[in-house]
Structure 1
């Protein structure tokens, strides 16, 4: 019981520990990857917003067309010219608003007077600019972090920029104030991980310019990122991840520690319950095995040892009150004897069946009757001057004489090649089509012995599967490394792996198509019967490119079964 319970629970505990480590790494990695991806999107969105603010403010500054017209307006006292310039400025401001749909409030603002002009929309009466949360400041431009818009009837968060203009015609300090709607980055405030993810925006000095959780991370306080690991860490009960922009400001994602570990804790609780269930089931099964199997097996083992030592049939079998074991004890000795006899019988039958199948394939028709009849047709064709019929009958007679020979089923490569030439002659007359079949046989292999009738099925397969109007078949026979290498290549449409399996393993009746109707499975079984593992038949094919059949036989003067 102890061994069974340990054998069940120890692997379970190992799997639990390994899966916990793996799951923890996967969850942490996936969560961090997701958070950092969101942070990067938020950072890019803020950068685009700031870039857009910079572009728009530049148009309103002195270097831009609008800034120059404002300077001209402030420098002239002519009412008509002022009216024309005012109209042009308002028109261009409307054009800027139209081409930049995210831009909201735009206006020229005087810090000294606290007044504004050329505002694109209505300004709140209690508008505030000096107290806005500073996000970054460079190149005479101040960028303010998310804050409520100064535009009347608009209480959404915006990003704003304040840019010094330095108009020559205005002695006071003049600035351009531009707000950009924050709708391009809703993920910062809305798409929170299970409603439990919060965000901070830090300025260049790590001061908090915006906080989702002001109770734990107050605005205008500095964010402490000491001891961070690749821009992440644990602080005030939150796991935090930071993404810093090229301008120096940062976006920080905060995830409560309990939420971050919720999936892990849930998994641990489930594993504890599962462990208790495994323990109870293992102990119960172990007890049943001991009670119902182990005790009877001791008796059964004792009887097996006695049989091995005596090597005789049991005269009397003791009863152990379990029918299954009683039956096994009675049948054990008989089973051993029967198995030995069956093995010998199966070997003999399998050898005879292989020979019988080959014999059956080769002698399905009466050779004497056919050949005598063909001789008669041949002489009739000669007497009547039918040369084509004479050619056809002579080729068929030679092919049948060769293929239906009964003496030992042994041939030479020369005879086998002559046989396939007769076969090609028959096929050309039959289909009235000049097959492009190229045959190359090395001189040193012509007289080597091979089984009879193994090349025609391969060539027949290439004709039916690989030959088309511009196709060709190439047969090569050579000797290499003590083996006869026979390759038959065609440049046809190719054969799928499924069809290759059918060619090699389907029954002969399913493969009958033409001629003798003997397929590739005959070749495979023939070489296995003659050579065993010393020979091999391989089919390599690519759809649309062609097929190559490789037949590798040991180089022998006489076949093993002769």
Structure 2
């Protein structure tokens, strides 16, 4: 991975790992707190509902007991049913209506109080009008039955103008000779709403179960229909979880029924889910901040690295002198300074190597020039020249004179420069000596453009090339053609002969191998000397090329750069 990727992952992991661990511990603790809070809230709410229902049923039972025998109103009903005196019957009927109305008035929660005669399918002495289809057989399953009084879970009211839900109580009266006379009382009831301070913001759904764990009232009849058992396999549990709801249950010890509250999972987990969303939001925020910090750190590191990269690129391109730029980071600036110091040292070393190489080349040239003592040799030859003149030896005189001129030129002061014109004149003297030595004349052709004759060149660069032509098969029919011309502002010197030619392998050795290889190949050091001389004086800008064909001849090209030599 790249450094940038590593930094990014390091920051992300260093942020996420502690955050995830903290979030997990917080989630566990928060879940436990929320569950305890929710359960406590639900049990408190159920206790309120239970108490409210118990009170409501107790009130109903008290009213029913007053309507039944031995209640005062119950005795008046018995007298009404058993008297045959119409006047007494009317008086008792009036008293019954008054007593029932007064009883309902003194109990504000009571909505309907009546006697129901099942054989007649009618209600008498009701405190208010009843529905035309009023029938006790339509009542739901009893929620509980105590002391011959049946209590019913919430159901639609039998009062004519009341379409709400009520709870009711019913007791069959024991009246000899009378069939199925009932005292029936209704009371309006609404389940207590959950306090706004509770965790769950929406009201739960309620179920009422009888002592058999059978559902007698359901606010979710599609999922929990009336008449079915509720969690019969978990009858002893007080809370649990089904497919859609969390449920909590409490029992009325006195009356034997049970009340169950149902909370949808989404509502039950609403606060926890809200907390989870907050944590996810914080996680995203932390990741964004982490990526920003990683980017800032990478940029802080990248700028110095970019400076290092440029410094190295300049070094690889030969730019040894540092360009001073700072990263404004102390550690990186110290490294950059050390790297620039190293570049300076390398530049100094390169300069020293160049100076040493130049001195070594000069020493080798000097060694070649001073392999013999030039003054002693020329003085001796001058003496021979005068002896030949005194004795009338013209050929010897000419030979010694040419040799003396040639040696004087070739063995001149080390580092002395010459011109192309002087080089050509020296070449003529050299060939004159060779004609006398080999007793045949060479066809020497020199073609030189006047503007380039005064071009400054190193000494002794043409004679080794011509000497190479003489030593490699030039005969009486041989010719040497020297051409000097300006081409693309460069000076091109070509030396062509019609000798035996040079093989490609020997050409490669001449142009590219060192002096030791030349000796091994038996080629000599003339042309390699010229190549090294030109490289030394023209700093590698001069070019030497050889074209040769065996049995036909050889042409050597010297291309000297425009502007001449570089002279210290």
TM-score normalised by structure 1 residue count? 0.49
Rg bigger for which structure? 2
Give the alignment's TM-score, normalised by structure 2.
Answer: 0.49
